[in-house]
Amino acid sequence: MTLSAVVSVVIGYVAVQCGLRLLDPTSIRKTYLPGIVATFEMNRVFDSPIEAACKCKEVRLLLRGFQRFYDKNHPKASRMKIAYGMDLAVESQRTMVGMSGSDVRSADARRDFTLRQRLFVCQAVGVMFMLRRSEHVYYKSGKAPLLRKHLTFFDKVGGTIPYWRIGLVPAKKVVINVTFSKTDHSGFGRRPYHLRQEELSGACVVCILEQWVAFTRDSYGASESTGLYEVPTFENLSMETLHRVMEATVRSMGIADSHVIRATSHSLRYGGATMMAAAGFPQYLIAHYGGWREDSEALKRYAKPSEESIERVSEFMTRVTYRNPSRLYIEDLIVRVRGSART
């Protein structure tokens, strides 16, 4: 039996036992693993040093899974992710004006606007459609996951707007065809959409995408097969730049301990779910937009109530107090008890 097989079996047993006690996973690496290997060497079962066991694929996978289990039950402040909603995305436009760096600002006014607008569009799309980073901003094998052809604009009578006419004909709604989700077990993807909110155009994702697509098409020649955030002659948008802008926006809002709060591309998805939950939308509708199962544990963690929703709960429970709601349950209990007694 090889060292990998033996250590995997023993560590598997130890991890299960430790998992029940929610032991710190570092204890496994610093205490259990050295002890196991030391025992093997003492009994001259193996001559391999501890590094060999640590490099074992099976051991690494098992420890990584245990680390996730531990982190889920022991959240750390340094790992906190903020719910980055559309209000922060709008605020980021003002934040970026004061930021330095060639990835946000340049000497050319039009290029400067394009750099900032691209970052704003990325945030708006991430929040409003609750996309994972692999679905809209993460470049795998150098290819953009979200192309302009994955967007479909419809006019007020339901007709499809051709790419060359986007921005010339007001769009009533926009649909994103997400066919590459890691949770897409059907193979058909999901197609969330939003309707135009003309009176709130500064935060309306239909207006934002319409203007962005038309501007980069007419000014830079971006085609339908171009990535949504790609602009000819510009470098690709990096997640590092996106995170830097998001974290600067969080700091500009005066949030305490912003240095330990992580604002990442996943915060956009988190923020979208939180916004919908705060508005009182049912879980199945939030699941539809984000591509979760309706009983998803992740969704339950993301959906946080807002002060407005708490206020509605307080108001409802206060008002209903005078309608004697508990009396109905007591009467039902009496009927059930009497029925059981007769049998």
- Same domain for 188 and 54, yes or no, is no
CA distances from 215 to 85, 147, 199, 222, 328 (A): 25, 16, 21, 9, 61
**pTM for the predicted model, two decimal places:** 0.70
Burial label, 146 (beta-carbon count in 10 A; 0-12, 13-18, 19+) = buried
CA 257 from centre of chain: 21
- Domain containing residue 327: 311-338
Q: Which of 252, 281, 297 is where one domain is finished?
A: 252
- Same domain for 99 and 245, yes or no, is yes
The tens place of each residue's pLDDT in the chain, 343 residues long, gives: 455 555 555 555 555 545 444 555 566 666 666 666 665 555 555 555 555 555 556 566 666 777 766 666 665 555 556 788 898 899 999 999 888 776 776 668 888 899 999 999 999 999 999 988 888 887 777 788 889 999 999 999 999 999 999 999 999 999 998 876 665 655 667 888 899 998 888 889 999 999 999 999 999 999 999 999 999 999 888 888 999 999 888 888 776 555 556 788 888 988 888 888 877 788 888 888 888 877 777 777 777 777 777 777 777 777 777 777 777 777 777 788 887 765 5
C-alpha–C-alpha distance, residues 77 and 258, integer Å: 10
- Same domain for 28 and 133, yes or no, is no
Residue 126's pLDDT is what? 93
- Which residues of the chain form beta strands (DSSP E)? 151-154, 173-176, 193-195
Task: Count up the domains in the chain and report the number.
Answer: 3
Q: Which of 222, 252, 282 is where one domain is finished?
A: 252
C-alpha–C-alpha distance, residues 14 and 213, integer Å: 55
Q: Where are the alpha helices (DSSP H) in the chain?
A: 3-21, 25-27, 33-42, 50-54, 57-73, 86-97, 109-128, 133-136, 205-220, 239-252, 265-278, 283-290, 297-302, 307-320, 325-342
C-alpha–C-alpha distance, residues 317 and 320, integer Å: 5
- Same domain for 230 and 175, yes or no, is yes
- Same domain for 226 and 140, yes or no, is yes
- Same domain for 322 and 184, yes or no, is no
Residue 21's pLDDT is what? 47
- Same domain for 49 and 105, yes or no, is no
Q: Which of 184, 219, 252 is where one domain is finished?
A: 252
Evaluate whether residue 51 is within a structural domain. yes
